[in-house]
Structure 1
């Protein structure tokens, strides 16, 4: 298992899925989102990932950080499953994604196992399409 971390977030790759977890409650601002994206890029070593992004620990995600993530945070990703600990946050993200139509598939979940299952389904479809 490959791991990489900084003072506020830890990344690891396990069974072909990239995971992240915040080490402490944080406010995601522009500086932190840049550091998070840089660390994710470093662990990905130029390969696209299927990312299980756990939002537990985020106290607030400011607009400048969200805008930066939208324009710079989709590199090296096949798909991203966001794990929330709130059904309202999950619903809000999924509704927004229906309207937004992101380049990289992004879906919200409240259960990590459901997020991983969704990522594995996309991964399997992508791998099968390589042989068609």
Structure 2
């Protein structure tokens, strides 16, 4: 799968208020091939600089175990903090409960609204 395919069919990246933003296209399946390319692109976009990232997962339909394991091992470089957007409060609760046990190496929190996620990242950035 080519880089252009991933960008066109899978995910968009942009900056808003110096926050790296990304959003998956509708019904994106996060398999190992896609996640490797997404991480590579995010690192390239970061240009060797740590970023505050708002990662919108609301259009993702599935994430394989291999993709989760790969992202956990290789997907944390060049990041100060990550805010993840999900579709429901139940998903948010499950995700945040898991993170209490997982103890991520950077600030990492799950939200259901873009506004709250941006506010949290901007507050961290100001510190």
Question: Normalization by structure 2: what TM-score?
Answer: 0.91
From 92, 95, 114, the equivalent of 1:93 is: 95
Would you say 1:72 and 2:69 are equivalent positions?
Answer: no
4+ residue stretches of structure 1 with deviation over 3 A? none
Would you say 1:12 and 2:19 are equivalent positions?
Answer: no
Aligned residues: 122
Offset, 1:23 = 2.2
Offset, 1:105 = 1.4
Q: Secondary structure of 1:6's partner?
A: helix
Q: Secondary structure of 2:126's partner?
A: helix
Partner of 1:63: 65
Question: Normalization by structure 1: what TM-score?
Answer: 0.88
Offset, 1:20 = 0.2
Q: Please report the RMSD computed on the Cα atoms of aligned residues, expressed in angstroms.
A: 1.3
Gaps of 5+ in 2: none
Q: Residues of 1 paired with 2:15 and 2:106: CA distance?
A: 19
From 111, 114, 123, the equivalent of 2:113 is: 111
Partner of 1:130: none
Alignment of 1:43-54 (within 5 A): 43-54=45-56
Alignment of 1:22-61 (within 5 A): 22-61=24-63
Gaps of 5+ in 1: 126-132
